[in-house]
Structure 1
Amino acid sequence: MHDALIAFTESLPVWLQWAGVMLISAIPFVESYLGTLIGIVAGVPTPLAVAAAVVGNVISMLAFVFLGAGARKKALERRAKGGDSTLEPELSPRQQRFKRMFDRFGVPGVSLLGQWVLPSQLSSGLMVSFGASRNAVIVWQIISIILWGILFAVIGNLGLIALR
């Protein structure tokens, strides 16, 4: 079955292989690491799988960063105008856990390790909404996305070697 999947993947144009891995990696909880792994198992060349997974994950993460920054800006504007937003919104238990992690480890720590709690898309939006620098979040998330993609490329290739 694995050989049939690889044959099918190899029969596709490279741009379609790229697009498939990129799209799947844009999904929260799939991200660059599972997108890379899926691409490698499906027969996409490793460098292409990593690059496509990183690009897809980064694009979706950027969307969440800009949404989080916009939400924070609107909330601050309402407070400045004396609106009804003087009270902080209640955070869910998962958001409270994330906030404690953010307060303890900062943007670099949450970016590199936060994917065990929330996907990079959600964690990046939350960090910005908590007041972290948008640019710092973007830089550290991109570093994290690349590192996780490379790590899972190594794991995926070692796993395929072990299975042969």
Structure 2
Amino acid sequence: MSNPISDLVLGFQGLVADVPDLVQPLIVALAGAVPFIEGEGAAAIGIIGGINPLVAAVAGAVGNLICVAIVVLATSRVRTAVTTRRGAPEKPVTARRQKFERAYHRYGTPGVSLLGPLLLPTQFTAAALTSTGVSPARVIAWQAAAIALWTTVITLIIAGVIRFAA
């Protein structure tokens, strides 16, 4: 049985290898927009596909950040529409929501943003933060920091492993 994420990664790697060099960063950016692949996974796809590590990292991070920004702005609009609607019944708080809120109160926006990618895609974390009322600008700024951090770390590891193995 195949894993959909690994199939998607292999598909992106094949696509990177099949397109002209100038188009390769766009493919890496598209991969970065996919939850669970993220900027760091996209950078790895690009590096393994033969793209310069810096170009792969920037393309993956930009693709991830653009997607996160769209999610944040959309979630913010939905939250505004829901909270301004009068007489809307309160939904019961789910166990998952309680867990997120405990983490948020413990670590704040910076902690949830920087540690969140260890557990969830940045798009999910960004939507959760925005839905709790954190300002979109603050969410985007901290998600950008997290994307840059994790993409850089993974890029350095992958590039180092490839250099060491070569």
Give me the TM-score of the superposition, normalised by structure 1.
0.85
Deviations 1:61-102 (A, max 9, x none): 011101211121011111xx2x232x14433x4443222211
2:158 — aligned with what?
156
2:104 — aligned with what?
102
- Report the identity percentage: 33
**In structure 2, how many angstroms separate the alpha carbons of the residues matched to 1:158 and 1:95?**
39
Q: CA deviation at 1:113?
A: 0.6
Equivalent positions of 1:110-121 (< 5 A) are 110-121=112-123
**In structure 2, how many angstroms separate the alpha carbons of the residues matched to 1:19 and 1:90?**
40
SS in structure 2 at match of 1:15:
coil
Equivalent positions of 1:61-140 (< 5 A) are 61-78=68-85, 81=86, 83-85=87-89, 87-91=90-94, 93-140=95-142
Q: CA deviation at 1:122?
A: 1.0
**Which of residues 11, 24, 35 is equivalent to 1:28?**
35
Of 39-48 and 12-21, the range deviating more from structure 2? 12-21
Whether the 8 Å contact between 1:120 and 1:141 is mirrored in structure 2 is yes
1:56 aligns with 2:63: yes
1:41 — aligned with what?
48
The alpha-carbon distance between structure 1 residues 118 and 94, as it changes in their structure 2 partners (threshold 3 A), is farther
**In structure 1, how many angstroms separate the alpha carbons of the residues matched to 2:60 and 2:103?**
26
In structure 1, the gaps of 5 or more residues are none
1:16 aligns with 2:18: no
Deviations 1:45-70 (A, max 9, x none): 11110110011001110111012111
Which aligned runs of 4 or more in structure 1 are off by greater than 6 angstroms? none
RMSD: 1.9
**In structure 2, how many angstroms separate the alpha carbons of the residues matched to 1:45 and 1:99?**
40
Whether the 8 Å contact between 1:98 and 1:117 is mirrored in structure 2 is no
Aligned residues: 153
Determine which structure has greater relative contact order: mean sequence separation of CA pairs < 8 Å that are 6+ residues apart, divided by chain length: 1
Q: CA deviation at 1:116?
A: 1.5
Q: CA deviation at 1:110?
A: 0.8
